[in-house]
Amino acid sequence: MKTLYAVFGDPVGHSLSPVMHNAAFAALGMDCEYHKFRVTKDDLKEAIHGAKAMGFGGLNLTIPLKEKALRLVEPDPLAEAVGAVNTIEFRGNSIIGHNTDGVGAVNSLKLSGIVISHSNVLLMGAGGAARAVAYQLASKGARVTIANRTPKRAVELAANVSSVGRVEGTGLEDLASLVEQSHIIINTTSVGMHPDIDQTLVTEDMMHAGQVVFDLVYNPLQTKLLKEAKKAGAITVDGIKMLVLQGVESFRIWTNAEPPVDIMERAVRDVLGKQ
In this structure, of 36-40, 223-227, 240-244, the range with the lowest mean pLDDT score is 240-244
Common-topology check for domains 3-99+241-274 and 102-237: yes
pLDDT digit string, tens, across residues 41-69: 999 999 999 999 999 999 999 989 999 99
Q: Checking phi first, is residue 92 left (phi over 0); if not, alpha (psi -120 to 50) or beta? A: left
**How far is Cα 181 from Cα 160, in angstroms, rounded to an integer?**
23
Specify whether the CB–CB gap between 76 and 22 falls below 8 A: no
State the pLDDT confidence band at 275, using cuts at 50, 70 and 90.
low
- The residues annotated with a catalytic role in the active site are 66
Its CATH architecture, for the domain 102-237, is: 3-Layer(aba) Sandwich (3.40)
Ordered by start, the domain boundaries in the chain are: 3-99+241-274, 102-237
Res 195 pLDDT > 90 = no
pTM of the model: 0.88
What is the rounded average pLDDT for all residues in the chain? 95
CATH number for the segment(s) 3-99+241-274: 3.40.50.10860
Question: In Å, how far from its chain's centre is CA 87?
Answer: 11
